[in-house]
Amino acid sequence: MPAQSLNFTFTVNSTSTVAVNYPNTGSSALTLLSDKVKGDGYFGGSDGNHTLQVQLTNFIGRLSIEASLSSEPGANDWFSVPLTSQLSVDTTGLVSSASTGTVFYNTATSNIKSYNLTGNYVWLRSKIFEFTQGTVNAIKYNF
Dist. CA 80–CA 65, nearest whole Å: 6
Q: Are 67 and 123 in contact (CB under 8 A)?
A: yes
pLDDT confidence of residue 128: 96
Q: 20 φ, ψ to 5°?
A: -125, 120
Which residues are CB-contacts of 63 (< 8 A; sequence separation ≥ 6)? 54, 102, 103, 105, 126, 127, 128, 136, 139
Q: Look at residues 51, 23, 20, 53 and name the one whose alpha carbon lies nearest to residue 35.
A: 20
* pLDDT class of 99 with cuts at 50, 70, 90: low
Is 21 a residue whose pLDDT tops 70? yes
91-95, 101-105, 106-110: range with lowest mean pLDDT: 91-95
* pLDDT class of 25 with cuts at 50, 70, 90: confident
